[in-house]
Amino acid sequence: MSPIMKNAIVAALAAMALAQPAQAILQRVGPVDPATGYPAWYQDANGLAVELCTPTTQADLVSGICLVTPAEVVVVPEVFPTNWSQEHFYYFTSAVMRVASATPGVTTPLKVLTGVEASFNTPTPEAGQQITFGRWRVQAPQANAGMACAGTFTIYSPHRAPKVIPLAAGARLFDTEDIGIGPDFNGALNGAAGPFAMRAATPGGIAAPFAIGADGKQYLSAGDLGPITGSAVPNPFVAPNPLPAFAIPPEIRAMPKTNYFMVSGPGVASGNCATQEAVWALNDISVIGRVNTAAIASRTNIERATFRAVDSNADGTPDRFQIGAWANAVQEVNRPAPLVGLSLNRGDPADPVNSTPEVAMLRTPVENTAPVAIGQIPTPKFNFFNGVI
């Protein structure tokens, strides 16, 4: 084997070691926007990216198309940091269900939410104190907040495994997970907030087109309530899994993923502590986020590489190599991205169609077409490609 081939193998193996995909719920965080000091966007594993949802018109606040707290900013649009709300969200989904309270005959709202939040380490907006984090929370309000029964309550939601919470009778159901905070903006990638849910006509169905705001930008929803799709959390009740000890609607039974919110436990619906019950949200779920439509560079990783020397000592016989790779395509509108094959070629005279020196290109593995620019292949692709050194 020639020294050039040996060096190529070492370099390729090093690239493989460095380029393995991170085991994160979200995929990437964008560059910091100097106007706000926050990342421009967060991207999930499907390639969907959402940007910091700052209201650009008063209609944004009224419609709920963006979520900020407090909402009473002096002037819209906001200006950092003097005219800026304390909390903003890149992404937010939630549902409110009514559960039996410790007051006989009275129900209380129970809210379950998850999101990617932007806030501050300080009580008021201050440059240099920006933080982001992933939040998952279940909460009942203070008034009439105690649960009717003692026991174990389980919270089901689209972005995390079921959460089990033991409570005494009359105790308030409240729990929060904040992941990220500091010292940089990467920690929020590990929060329970992805892949991002999208609006659908039916729970777990095909994603609906993005909503268009008054500012002409694209949003995950119009600020309304409805079904969602996009959860990656396996639904523990999908057939043929056994039925639970409590009644659930057939829509949940037919759903492979957890595109719903649900709370189960003793007497959670009726207050009868002798029965296991559940309350759920299927068609009245909020999902909020503004879609990033600016171009994002693809994320490319070498998955594996194999090398074969072909009589490298013979005059005129090149050493050949094969590389298998995958990439997330650049998405013009950042809809869920397909995986695509990546061709790394070094100029093979015997393969002019797939050989462009020192340029990474994409091509379909089925049709013998010329390489095309990254981001132009609309369907999943994967292939091996030959090259020479």
Give the residue from 328, 365, 361, 368 showing the smallest Cα distance to 343. Answer: 361
Handedness of CA 287, 297, 215, 77 (dihedral sign): positive
Condensed to tens digits (0 to 9), the pLDDT of residues 44-59 reads: 988 899 999 998 888 8
The pLDDT of 207-214, averaged and rounded, is 94
Condensed to tens digits (0 to 9), the pLDDT of residues 156-173 reads: 999 999 999 999 999 999
Confidence at residue 109, expressed as pLDDT on a 0 to 100 scale: 95
Confidence at residue 289, expressed as pLDDT on a 0 to 100 scale: 97
Per DSSP bridges, beta strands 49-51 and 285-291 are: antiparallel
pLDDT bucket at 352, cuts 50 / 70 / 90: very low
pLDDT bucket at 72, cuts 50 / 70 / 90: confident
Q: Is the bond preceding 125 in cis, omega lying within 30 degrees of 0? A: no
Q: Where in 247-346 does DSSP place strands (E)? A: 261-266, 276-281, 285-291, 299-308, 320-328, 339-341, 343-345
Biggest CA-to-CA distance, the chain = 92
208 Cβ partners below 8 Å, 6+ apart? Answer: 198, 199, 200, 201
In 19-160, which ranges are continuous DSSP H helix?
A: 58-63
The pLDDT of 132-153, averaged and rounded, is 91
Confidence at residue 62, expressed as pLDDT on a 0 to 100 scale: 82
Confidence at residue 380, expressed as pLDDT on a 0 to 100 scale: 32
Beta bridge partners of 200: 207
The pLDDT of 102-107, averaged and rounded, is 90
pLDDT bucket at 80, cuts 50 / 70 / 90: very high
CB 345 within 8 A of CB 364: no
pLDDT bucket at 331, cuts 50 / 70 / 90: very low
Confidence at residue 313, expressed as pLDDT on a 0 to 100 scale: 58
pLDDT greater than 50 at residue 346:
no
Confidence at residue 334, expressed as pLDDT on a 0 to 100 scale: 38
Confidence at residue 145, expressed as pLDDT on a 0 to 100 scale: 77
pLDDT greater than 70 at residue 329:
no
pLDDT bucket at 214, cuts 50 / 70 / 90: confident
pLDDT greater than 70 at residue 212:
yes
277 Cβ partners below 8 Å, 6+ apart? Answer: 246, 247, 264, 265, 266, 267, 268, 269, 270
CB 335 within 8 A of CB 323: no
Confidence at residue 317, expressed as pLDDT on a 0 to 100 scale: 56
Confidence at residue 318, expressed as pLDDT on a 0 to 100 scale: 55
DSSP 179-219: EEESSSSSGGGGSS--SPPEEBSSTT-PBPPPEE-TTS-EE
Confidence at residue 372, expressed as pLDDT on a 0 to 100 scale: 32
Task: Say how many Å lie between the first and final Cα of the chain, rounded.
Answer: 12
Question: Residue 193 is which amino acid?
Answer: A
The pLDDT of 21-34, averaged and rounded, is 77
Average pLDDT of the chain?
78
Tokens representing residue 341 in the block: 């094959």
Give the highest mean pLDDT range of 12-16, 81-85, 348-352, 358-362.
81-85
Beta bridge partners of 299: 328
The pLDDT of 328-345, averaged and rounded, is 40
Q: What percent of the chain has pLDDT over 70?
A: 69
Confidence at residue 143, expressed as pLDDT on a 0 to 100 scale: 67
Give the residue from 66, 14, 29, 268 showing the smallest Cα distance to 154. Answer: 268
CA 371 vs. chain centroid, Å, equals 30
**DSSP 8-state secondary structure symbol assigned to residue 22:** P
The pLDDT of 135-146, averaged and rounded, is 86
Q: What percent of the chain has pLDDT over 90?
A: 58
